[in-house]
Structure 1
Amino acid sequence: MINTLIGDIGHTGVIVAFVAAIVSSYAYFMASRTKVELSGDDSWRKLGRWSFYVHSAAVMVIIFTLFNIIYEHRYEYYYAWSHSSNHLPVHYMVSSFWEGQEGSFLLWIFWHVVIGLVLIYSSSKKKVWEAPVMGMFSFVQLFLTSMILGVVIGDLKIGSSPFILMRDFMPDTPVFAMDPNFVPADGTGLNPLLQNIWMVIHPPTLFLGFAATLVPFAFAMGGLWKGKYSEWIKPALPWAHFAAVSLGMGIMMGAYWAYETLNFGGYWNWDPVENAVYIPWLVLVGAIHTMIAYNRGKSGLKASFILLIASFILILYATFLTRSGILGNASVHSFTDLGLSGQLFTYLAAFAVLSVALLIYRWKNIPTTEKELTTYSGEFWVFIGAIVLCLAAFQVLFTTSIPVYNSFLGFIGIESNAALPADQIAHYTKFQLWAGVAIAVLTGVGQLLWWRKGEKGTFVDAITLPGMLTLLFASLVIVLSKMGMLHETMDNPKFIILLVASLFAVFANLSIILSLLHKKVTLSGGAVAHMGIALMLLGILFSSGYDNIVSQNTSGLVYSREFPDEINRDNVLLWRNTPTDMDKYTVSYHGQFQEVIGVPGYVNRELLWPTADPYTSIARGQIKVGDKIYFEAGDTLEMYSPENTFYEVQYKEREGDKVFTLYPRAQVNPNMGLLASPDIKHFANKDLYTHVSSIPDPNEEKDWGELQEYDLAIGDTIILNDYIAVFNGIERVPQVPGVSMAEGDVAVQADLKIYGERKEYHAHPVMLVKNEMVGRIPEEVADLGLRLTFLSIDTENDKFKIGVNASQKDYIILKAVEKPFVNLLWIGTLVMTVGFVMAIVRRKEGKSTAKSKTKARPTVPQETRRQAA
């Protein structure tokens, strides 16, 4: 039965939110006009505020209805069917909410609502900024809500509704022609790569950064609009810090998701979608530096306007790149085109034209300082740092936009086949590495000059100790690398320069932090953030520049001529239960495991009898972890993710006693092929990164050898595929998993004990008499490459016929990489975040202090002021 009520409520909410955004933006625009302010008429501002409240309430209704559609499995709606399924746990239902374009737009809209309400509340006493800032917020919300409006006027489509019914989305599908009320029993599910906890928290954090970027932009636009060219800096600066830390954390969460989930062996692949969010973050950080410079030295106001406008426009450009379909096959992360490319371009163009035109119109009125900046001035190095950040962003932007150039040239009738670089990592790294060096040096020099008041003698004294420590530690690292502490000797000049620059940044900023501890901790927020970035650079240097492939193929064999050279060269073939030497480890593969709800860890697949429902299995024996028994034989088990298989790989150090086990995950997806996710062993100084590169195709029938038949008496011993097996007899079984037993049906199973290399195996092939027909259920021992079938019983001679097929043993092809000091990257991310938070707290404290000083200032009577005038 199709329930259209919930969808009607959601779509009505979208229309109300859209109309309320129009009213709010217009009312706030009217409230921002100078004449209205002078008249003291507050009605327009109140109308704008209450309209935004209505807009916010409508957005919450939309969110509730869309999640309800997903949670209640209402597959009559296309969004629920295409992004969720019956067996998704709740936290992955949350992920499926924003997997589609419409849901991600709604997430962005939601964060704007939250931030807008905070801004309204914080400006309730001081109303100067509410109208211009919230006017810009409402105007942005107008565009964003139009993206999910889902209204078609003739040939014009405005937005894509998440509340469209399946029968309306796919009207030509035959099933809907036969039955318009058809509802699918299950959805297509969430992309398997997104079924990861980081995909529950990464998108909200990233979109919070997107949303927060609007705040400093809105303040800057409000300052230009109202002619308050410098007053906007102080209220905007904490928000700029907040936007930078949210966006930065969102980017790094995505990097960790890639590191933990994807199998390219890294955290950053210079994919166009990754670049699209990295570019505005760099520019935003540059804007923060120029804003701080203006706060201190009254220089850099025009640069602050330019960079803040650029950062917001680049956010919109990133949205256009990733959602318009223009990237095509250039990115594995981009959304498909929903027919919104024109609307997205309008959104981008509207704010680009509006902001740039207003900046040009007000340019001559923006105050500048005549103060000359010297090379020993902290502000000078802040500007140099902002320039380096922008140059780094421009290099990435220029290359990432190649598909846009092609599209534009094609639009005007010029054919262009320009392509992204074949080796994108090498292309970007050759410039970004030097940008990293420059940033590291500038974070050290700039901070020392900033806090030493630009005095030459003081600066020389301040730089001496960090410089000496840098040379000492850099020399120590290089010597240790020559002694074999790294698998490669550190002799690459570029990497040595980056090492020296990053170490200098760490020690220079550490010296600032220590010198400020006795004053006020929050004063050192900038130094903490800069030290975090330096640690990140060190982590990137070692984990990417000196990673070590420990799974080198030294056998001299080519696994398959169909495989690329990299798999044949950098992977090791592991036969099941056969130890193999790999670098300093002895590695062995011990079978396939799955997740069972209610059982910690993983359960050996040999203990699971599959049923017709892939999410249900029957226990073939006791399932226990340690001494605790979770299920008995015959119990019905619920599977967590039956499409995922975990491969048990045991590592043992050949020159030590360390033994540990990893469970890399893989699944064969019908649409995406082999999807492999790594398992990672974390050490203090490195990560051992392990993933499966190839497995036997589970959908292909095994190539079993010729059936060998054995007539056995109880106690007989035979040799099966080089393994000793003992026949212990037969027994009647009351129930057979997956078979409904009726009165008169009989099932018996044979019991064979097989002695493998590592353990004993019990095989129980079943012979079943049902409805006077004989059926057989063979037992497969995957570890040994055997399949046993109970063929017949010779009651006269007390003999039992067992059939045995042998096959190639199970195997995996494995890649393992050591990533030295990758922890420095994640630690640096946390340190940088702490520094940004400290900076936000400091700005808030400074604001409170300024307010208290204003209140404490003695009041001069009005008449006295007139006489003084």
Structure 2
Amino acid sequence: MIIEIGHFSAVIALVLAVFGIASSGLALRTHNADWVRAGRMALTLIFILLAVGMAALIYSFLARDFSVNYVATNSNSQLPLFYTIAAVWGGHEGSLLLWVFILSTFSTIAVWLHWRTQPAIMPYLIGMECLVILGFLLLILFLSSPFDRLIPAPPDGKDLNPLLQDPAMVMHPPMLYMGYVGFSIPFSFAMAALLSGRLGEEWIKVTQRWTIFAWVCLTTGILLGGYWAYYELGWGGYWGWDPVENASFMPWLVGTAFLHSVMVQEKRKMFKVWNLFLIIVTFSLSLIGTFLVRSGVLTSVHTFATDPERGLYILIFVTTIIGIAFGSLMLRANKLKSQIEMDSMVSRESVFLFNNLFFLVATATVFLGTLYPLMIETWQGAKVTVGPPYYNAVFMPIALGLLFLMGVGPYIPWRKASRASLQKNFLVPTGVGLVSTVVLFAIGIRSVFALTGAFVVGFSGAAIFIDFGKISSLYARRESINLLKGFLSAFTANQRRYSGLVTHVGVLVLVIGIIASTVYQTEKVVSMRVGDEFVIDDYRVKLKRIHDVKGKNWSAQEGVFEVYEGDTLLTKLRPQKRVYDASQTPTTESAIYAKNMGHIFLTMPDVSADGVAVARGVINPLILWVWGGGGIMGLGVLLNIFRPRKRDE
């Protein structure tokens, strides 16, 4: 009975989505504010009804109601409570319900938050959000329902995918969805601006914090996914250019470009077409990512479904949204021409222009690498793969170019930069970058990627810290305080700018970790018995014993490995080879020891019947800088979101 209540709530929400679209149209046609209020109420009720639907599904999981097909497919009686709740979005149908619930939540908040300040565009905003909600509800109710009954009910369920029974994967999908769906708010405001003809800077100012919030959610989701892949999949890496990883990375790239590009429109009233184009592409790529993950066209540990009917529907839906968006942009193109022209190619405006171009080229590179194998298989029937060699050769130079622009953009003047200002702002950073490169070369590093990265990181890092030093000194002298208090005063006075620079520092830290852990990773795979040992870098690893262990819903063979540096015992690592009881699915559980900001990473992929274990050891130098850099980025974004609001925001 409970699941039927959830199903009925979703059906009523679909009807209200249609009503929300109709009321928005009537409001625009009749100029009657009552229709706008009716649309607002419809959107609010959709949120409430979908909350009931989510609650009903969660209750069914907690009650172990295996007469619900989705519950029986994605859980069983042995599944721990924590993962039972996570199983709600562990499959295709539940993840879509979570998606549309988050969408209704954000839409309702946006409408009520901006109701008084943006009355003119409210019908367009409500109509666009209801249209997207309607598209997902049609998919859920007719092709991907989590509310279907299974008759007769099985005595137990099949189990949640063991790879998803992990704390990082509990939070990874919701954070990604909050990022994807978060971009729907600036997208809807952009569409409202296009359709209403209100093409100034107001929509950008209104959605500034929404954009930052969506970006940090998507960034967090990507980092959590990378961390999960690192220790759960057992291969010692955190980014394998998997097609579904790429599906989340592409909207992140274009969303980052949009986040920077809007500053030019705010400051110089330029890039109006660029900004509308970028936010449309960002949200379109979020929808395309949904198509790739749920259509079955890609093969990955991340994909949910292989039903071609679902894929066809999602493709039609995505094409419709993209068609409406780009059609509106083309219709308004003549009214979007800026009256202000770029004064010089050596200016901050031009740096932002190149920034946009680099991000789009980077996105196109990833898009091509993701879909090329699919196109070849469709046209020629042959299976091909596009892996790290392609991305390292094509994407990495673009990424280094973006990092260089990150060091130039904040410090080059608007309109036109003189030779004197260029020397003043970039002579020392250039010197620091060259010195960094020379030092690495002198200590024996010959990787072009590492040497180029050293120059770019040194250049951009020096530019940021020189800026911090100058502004701290200025405020310290002005207020007769020390440098630290001077920095805090300067930060408070322009929190938006310096929060952004904190985020840039996080990017540089992350890049150092990526370069070190990618270029200088050491790996060794050996077969060994109890008492055997192997050497990897400066460490000696000895297998002491193998024994059986039991968890709540799994059993495993656990190896106990002693790790020595010289004759000093550093730690004991305990990797496992697990088998989950219900599904009999094997997994490899890694063991990790942190040292010198890096990791000693060990897995035991196989143990034979006669006691021979396959051990895989990986040394990942500075890998903690990857996660630390992500944390610094998040800190910068949070400082930006929660900065004091100014009058013009």
Query: Is this a same-fold pair by TM over 0.5?
Result: yes
2:458 to 495, 503, 506: 503
1:680 corresponding residue in structure 2: 592
2:515 to 520, 525, 541: 541
Q: Is 1:267 aligned to residue 238 of structure 2? A: yes
**Residue 213 of structure 1, CA deviation:** 0.9
Q: Is 1:336 aligned to residue 305 of structure 2? A: yes
2:123 to 122, 127, 131: 131
Cα distance per residue 1:11-58 (max 9 Å; x no partner): 11110111111111221233245x50xxxx321011101111221111
Cα distance per residue 1:682-738 (max 9 Å; x no partner): 1233111111132125xxxxxxxxxxxxxxxxxxxxxxxxxxxxxxxxxxxxxxxxx
1:147 to 122, 125, 139: 139
Matched residue type, 1:333: H
The alignment partner of 1:244 has SS state of helix
Matched residue type, 1:113: S
Matches within 5 A, 1:646-665: 646-654=558-566, 656-665=567-576
Q: Residues of 1 paired with 2:9 and 2:568: CA distance? A: 63
Note the residue ranges of structure 1 that are not aligned, 5 or more in a row. Answer: 150-157, 168-181, 483-488, 552-570, 595-604, 606-614, 616-638, 698-807, 852-869
Matches within 5 A, 1:540-619: 540-549=514-523, 551=524, 571-592=525-546, 605=549
1:350 corresponding residue in structure 2: 320
The alignment partner of 1:813 has SS state of strand
1:474 corresponding residue in structure 2: 437
2:264 to 246, 270, 293: 293
Please say which of residues 450-459 and 234-243 is displaced more in the overlay: 450-459
1:526 to 493, 500, 516: 500
1:440 corresponding residue in structure 2: 403
Matched residue type, 1:310: V
Matched residue type, 1:530: H
Q: Is 1:461 aligned to residue 388 of structure 2? A: no
2:615 corresponding residue in structure 1: 814
2:41 to 25, 41, 50: 50
Q: Residues of 2 paired with 1:454 and 1:821: CA distance? A: 38
Change (3 A) 1:420 1:313: farther
**Residue 548 of structure 1, CA deviation:** 1.3
**Residue 252 of structure 1, CA deviation:** 1.1
Matches within 5 A, 1:105-184: 105-126=96-117, 127-149=119-141, 158-167=142-151, 182-184=152-154
Matches within 5 A, 1:334-413: 334-338=303-307, 339-402=309-372, 404-405=374-375
1:695 to 607, 612, 625: 607
Matched residue type, 2:9: G
Q: Residues of 1 paired with 2:440 and 2:426: CA distance? A: 21
Q: Is 1:243 aligned to residue 41 of structure 2? A: no
Q: Is the 8 A contact 2:554 2:580 kept in 1?
A: no
Change (3 A) 1:31 1:425: same
Matched residue type, 1:504: F
Normalising by structure 2, report the TM-score. 0.91
Identity of aligned residues (%): 25
Q: Residues of 2 paired with 1:585 and 1:353: CA distance? A: 58
Note the residue ranges of structure 2 that are not aligned, 5 or more in a row. Answer: 472-486
Matched residue type, 2:407: G
Relative to its length, the structure with more strand (as a share) is 1
2:624 to 823, 834, 837: 823
Q: How many residues are matched? A: 626
1:739 corresponding residue in structure 2: none
Q: Is the 8 A contact 2:506 2:632 kept in 1?
A: yes
**Residue 593 of structure 1, CA deviation:** 5.3
1:557 corresponding residue in structure 2: none
1:68 corresponding residue in structure 2: 59
Q: Residues of 1 paired with 2:437 and 2:528: CA distance? A: 40
Change (3 A) 1:183 1:652: same
The alignment partner of 2:380 has SS state of coil
Q: Residues of 2 paired with 1:648 and 1:450: CA distance? A: 59
Matched residue type, 2:402: I
**Residue 673 of structure 1, CA deviation:** 6.5
Q: Is 1:832 aligned to residue 630 of structure 2? A: no
Q: Is the 8 A contact 1:579 1:586 kept in 2?
A: yes
Cα distance per residue 1:559-601 (max 9 Å; x no partner): xxxxxxxxxxxx123312445555433322233456xxxxxxx
The alignment partner of 1:125 has SS state of coil
Please say which of residues 43-52 and 497-506 is displaced more in the overlay: 497-506
Cα distance per residue 1:832-865 (max 9 Å; x no partner): 22222333345x623xx237xxxxxxxxxxxxxx
**Residue 256 of structure 1, CA deviation:** 0.7
1:323 corresponding residue in structure 2: 294
Q: Residues of 2 paired with 1:238 and 1:290: CA distance? A: 15
Matches within 5 A, 1:720-739: none
1:850 corresponding residue in structure 2: 648
Q: Is the 8 A contact 1:685 1:823 kept in 2?
A: yes
Q: Is the 8 A contact 1:223 1:229 kept in 2?
A: yes
**Residue 403 of structure 1, CA deviation:** 5.1
**Residue 261 of structure 1, CA deviation:** 0.6
Q: Is the 8 A contact 1:219 1:232 kept in 2?
A: yes
Q: Residues of 1 paired with 2:546 and 2:414: CA distance? A: 59
Change (3 A) 1:546 1:369: farther
Change (3 A) 1:641 1:684: farther
Cα distance per residue 1:799-852 (max 9 Å; x no partner): xxxxxxxxx5x332111111111122112111222222333345x623xx237x
Change (3 A) 1:166 1:406: farther
Cα distance per residue 1:235-294 (max 9 Å; x no partner): 122212221111111111101110121112200111110111111110111112221111
Change (3 A) 1:673 1:20: closer
Matched residue type, 2:305: T
Q: Is the 8 A contact 2:9 2:50 kept in 1?
A: yes
**Residue 201 of structure 1, CA deviation:** 0.9
Change (3 A) 1:811 1:287: same
**Residue 323 of structure 1, CA deviation:** 0.6
Cα distance per residue 1:629-676 (max 9 Å; x no partner): xxxxxxxxxx4343344322111222x524201111222469786421
Matched residue type, 1:146: L
Change (3 A) 1:580 1:840: closer
**Residue 96 of structure 1, CA deviation:** 0.8
Q: Is 1:188 aligned to residue 158 of structure 2? A: yes
Q: Residues of 1 paired with 2:159 and 2:228: CA distance? A: 19
1:24 corresponding residue in structure 2: 20
**Residue 134 of structure 1, CA deviation:** 2.2
Change (3 A) 1:445 1:24: same
**Residue 196 of structure 1, CA deviation:** 0.7
The alignment partner of 1:667 has SS state of strand
Q: Residues of 1 paired with 2:535 and 2:505: CA distance? A: 41
Q: Residues of 2 paired with 1:532 and 1:453: CA distance? A: 29
Cα distance per residue 1:412-470 (max 9 Å; x no partner): xxx42354435x11011101110121011100011211589844323311222322333
Matched residue type, 1:18: L
Q: Is the 8 A contact 1:510 1:531 kept in 2?
A: no
Q: Residues of 2 paired with 1:346 and 1:199: CA distance? A: 30
The alignment partner of 1:845 has SS state of coil
**Residue 382 of structure 1, CA deviation:** 0.9
Q: Residues of 2 paired with 1:269 and 1:426: CA distance? A: 11
